[in-house]
Amino acid sequence: MATQLEYANRGTLTPEMEHICKEEGISEDLLLERVRQGQIVILKGRFNDKRIVGIGKGLRTKVNASIGTSTDVCDLEHEKRKAKIAEENGADTLMELSAAGDLDEIRREILKVVSLPVGNVPLYQAFCETIQKYKDPTKLDPEMLFELIEKQCEDGIAFMAIHCGINLFTIERMKKQGYRYGGLCSKGGTLMIQWMMKNQKENPLYEHFDRVCNILKKYDTVLSLGNGIRAGAIHDSLDRAQMAELILNCELCEIARDLGCQAMVEGPGHVPLDEIEANIILQKKMSNYAPYYMLGPLPTDIGAGWDHVTAAIGAAQSSMYGADLICYITPSEHLALPDEKDVEIGVKVARLAAHVGDVVKLKGKADAPDKQISKDRRDFKWNEQFKNMLFPDDAKKILESRKSLSHKGCSMCGELCALKNAEVTLNQYLRGDKIND
């Protein structure tokens, strides 16, 4: 089976590409060229073609929702409900990040209950099983890791966050830097660094990168180059350790493309507002505009309990400057495993933030519903307004629960509604009537 990238290199427009052209309003020639250049990747589950998602240059910014068990909270049915809620509320992709329980069963059950392309982090299961067996993550067998990656691809995983950009060079940069305000915040990345330092060996995912690509290529699973040394604090943003990994991931992205494997780059964690644009410019220029999967970014470190808002601020900026996939953040970030309500809120806020950025990034296309809803709001066409709202059901509930005494406006202004009074004045003017003082 050829990958979407290999088809594009042959000049073959696949049914998946045709679907994205129609959905995104992009020409077939342009899409084909951007897939060929590695600037757009196409995700779909191996056994599920209900949802085909394009991520990359010139396309709408997509939103990822993450779910998964932890060693403190492990409930498969809960995770299945969260997965369904993420899809129902408009997530484009889902990451299954379980780190406790029967991980094969959890992954397969999640794949059954959603039509979204599902991603994961294979290092989680590899280290979980190593710890269960040996009580020591540094006893990880690299061969088992590669076998596990293939098994997960066979199950139908659409994209994988694989930490290939951590190597002896990037670890040396971190050592010489000598400090980090936020330490290390990547579970898989930290355990891989621990494995490398204990065994005094190179990261097998980097050392045998061609093997990684060949496995994923076999199933057309998209490689998401994980950022295990991402910043966990705004004061670590753009530090040498993080930049060393970003440079390496951009190089690996190019190698993956040459091998026929679709790939995107991950980043960056916590980033102050004035560095978001710079981070994206660096990634885009060093990777020939490969899709950028943004984790966050969170532009402040003090928003716990409201970090879905913190992240939305960063996500809107990221979308505007060219980020392609936004990973949602929930209200429980930094505090607890998300529950079902957290997932709903996280997806909705991330979708809104992504659209805010797209209004600028895809001006003339993404902002079309904004223009139409403005006209319908002006003309009190409530049913037409709902058609262009991101969350019409939420809006209807608020409107109906606090109805205005007026038959037209809402209860915010009542009889003093500016639109209502402007309508009267404007109609008089257009008819040539004398406008009363």
Q: What is the mean pLDDT of residues 46-75?
A: 93
Q: Is residue 62 part of a domain?
A: yes
Residue 373 scores a pLDDT above 80 = yes
Residue 402 scores a pLDDT above 80 = yes
**Residue where one domain finishes, among candidates 361, 391, 416:** 361
| 254 plus 170 within the same structural domain | yes
| 381 plus 405 within the same structural domain | yes
- The least confident of 46-55, 64-73, 101-110, 312-321 is 46-55
In this prediction, residue 234 has a pLDDT band, given cuts at 50, 70 and 90, of: very high
What count of other Cβ atoms lies within 10 Å of the Cβ of residue 209?
A: 23
Q: What is the mean pLDDT of residues 253-257?
A: 98
Question: Is residue 177 classed exposed, middle or buried when 0-12, 13-18 and 19+ CB atoms within 10 A define those classes?
Answer: middle
CA distance 58 to 72: 41
Domain assignment of residue 36, given as a range: 4-361
pTM of the model: 0.94
Beta strands 325-327 and 62-67 are: parallel
Query: Cα(first)–Cα(last) distance of the chain, in Å?
Result: 75
Q: Is residue 291 part of a domain?
A: yes
The residues near 263 (Cβ < 8 Å, ≥ 6 apart) are: 38, 41, 222, 223, 224, 225, 252, 253, 256, 257, 290
CA distance 33 to 39: 9
- The least confident of 69-73, 84-88, 389-393, 427-431 is 427-431
Residue 406 scores a pLDDT above 70 = no
| 391 plus 258 within the same structural domain | no
Which pLDDT belongs to residue 433? Answer: 56
CA distance 3 to 8: 9
CA distance 420 to 244: 58
**Residue where one domain finishes, among candidates 361, 391, 410:** 361
- Residue 225 phi, psi dihedral angles, 5° rounding: -75, 105
| 145 plus 46 within the same structural domain | yes
**Residue where one domain finishes, among candidates 361, 380, 403:** 361
Q: Calculate the CA dihedral of residues 100, 185, 325, 105 and round it to 10 degrees.
A: -10
Residue listed under structure tokens 């495993």: 337
| 176 plus 218 within the same structural domain | yes
Residue 71 scores a pLDDT above 90 = yes
Tell me: the pLDDT tens digits for 2-31? 999 999 999 999 999 999 999 999 999 999
| 286 plus 412 within the same structural domain | no
In this prediction, residue 388 has a pLDDT band, given cuts at 50, 70 and 90, of: very high
Tell me: the pLDDT tens digits for 187-215? 999 999 999 999 999 999 999 999 999 99
Phi-psi region of 420 (alpha: psi -120 to 50; beta: other; left: phi over 0): alpha
Split into its structural domains, the chain has a count of 2
Output 190 or 410, whichever has higher pLDDT.
190
Q: Which residues of 31-44 are buried (b: 16+ CB within 10 A; e: fewer)?
A: bbebbbbbbbbbbb
Tell me: the pLDDT tens digits for 164-184? 999 999 999 999 998 899 999
Residue 437 scores a pLDDT above 50 = no
What count of other Cβ atoms lies within 10 Å of the Cβ of residue 277?
A: 15
Which pLDDT belongs to residue 403? Answer: 82
| 208 plus 90 within the same structural domain | yes
Residue 265 scores a pLDDT above 70 = yes
**Percentage with pLDDT > 70 across the chain:** 96
| 312 plus 415 within the same structural domain | no
Residue 428 scores a pLDDT above 70 = no
Secondary structure of residue 250 in the 3-state scheme: helix
Beta strands 40-45 and 292-298 are: unpaired
CA distance 103 to 122: 10
Which pLDDT belongs to residue 415? Answer: 82
